Amino acid sequence: MTTMLALAYPWIKAAHIIFVIFWMAGLFMLPRFFVYHQEAPEGSEEARRWIEREDKLATIIMNPSMLIVWVLGFTLVYLLDLWLQPWLIAKLAIVIGLSGYQGWLMGYRKKLARGERPLSSKKLRMINEIPGVAAAIIVILVVVKPFS
């Protein structure tokens, strides 16, 4: 690692962790917003406000955070030359899954905005556990590195 990159490394790592926290917060919050949205009467002022909240959370926090997490994550992998580490490959698989989960959330957000409510509040509450389980596994992979 060059001297300049070595100096930047802790800042890149810190920024990566910060944006992971922002992204995960959104992944936890949006399904909970969906539960409240679904409980609001269709076409009501309350439902409209939930649509606005969901849009802001997605466009201001979640989408930019996910993009920044990916860019900084690949920067760290490059700087440390971790491409073939088994723990990293497992972590990447989970992060790809979380990215797909976010894509699904974005699609569900659009369905709710159109007045569709395909899932029950109970199912949305269960789906809300996905990012927590994924985060726990990712932390174990990064800290313990069980496959190394």
Which residues does the annotation place in the binding site for heme?
16, 91
Chain segment 108-144, per-residue pLDDT in tens: 999 999 999 999 999 999 999 999 999 999 999 999 9
| 3-class secondary structure, 148 | coil
Cα–Cα distance measured from residue 3 to residue 148, given in angstroms and rounded to the nearest whole number: 27
Which residues does the annotation place in the binding site?
16, 91
Domain count, the chain: 1
Question: Which residue segment(s) compose the domain that 128 sits in?
Answer: 3-144
pTM for the model stands at: 0.92
Q: Tell which residue, 42, 46, 55, has the closest CA to residue 105.
A: 55
